[in-house]
Structure 1
Amino acid sequence: MDTREIRMTNLFLQLGLPADEDAIARFFLDNQLPEEVPLADAPIWNEGQRQFLREALKADDEWSLVVDALNESLHEDAVKARTAR
């Protein structure tokens, strides 16, 4: 069992987003962020989502691990572009 996937699913549910595997994959593809845009400052979030993400990152608990994974996934294209130079 992939526990990371389960936690990502729970994070999406917590954020009020569709949480099935296809919806999560589409979200990552459709919402890639520039490297300089911090996760919680992205325009894709409403204020409640931003607050949750900021608090999760500060808490340094199990939520922070999955929020870090979310951050990496949403910046993946920008990192690939930078490292391909």
Structure 2
Amino acid sequence: MDITTPNLNSLFAQLGLPNSDQAIADFIAQHKMTDNTHIANADFWTQSQRHFIKESLEEDAQWTEVIDQLDAQLRA
């Protein structure tokens, strides 16, 4: 059973990315998406990251809300 608290820091860790607050802020500043790009299809994800995001959203997993938060921040 996964007891990870879903938040941006744990999502970035799950994706294999640096997950400090500064690393997350830097990632968001460097990666932006257009309104017509689905987050799972953004060109900056690896294949495994893309798969995790897509699967989490399809299954309405515990990560869905946090992925949605990241999606919004990548569009701001």
Q: How does the TM-score come out when normalised to structure 2?
A: 0.87
Moved more, 42-51 or 59-68: 59-68
Cα separation, 2, equivalents of 1:60 and 1:41:
17
For the pair 1:13 / 2:20, whether they are aligned, the reply is no
Residues 39-50 of structure 1 mapped to structure 2, 5 A cutoff: 39-50=39-50
Cα deviations by residue, 1:14-63 (Å, 9 ceiling, x for unpaired): 00100000000011111011111110111100110000000111121321
Amino acid at match of 2:30: D
Residues 1-85 of structure 1 mapped to structure 2, 5 A cutoff: 7-76=7-76
Q: How does the TM-score come out when normalised to structure 1?
A: 0.78
| Identity of matched residues, % | 35
The structure carrying a bigger helix percent of its residues is 1
5+ long unaligned stretches in structure 2: 1-5
Q: Which has the larger radius of gyration?
A: 1
5+ long unaligned stretches in structure 1: 1-5, 77-85
Superposition CA RMSD, Å: 1.1
Q: How far has the Cα of 1:11 moved from its partner? A: 0.3
Cα separation, 2, equivalents of 1:47 and 1:61:
19
Where in structure 1 do 4 or more consecutive aligned residues deviate above 6 Å?
none
**Number of residue pairs the alignment of both structures matches:** 71
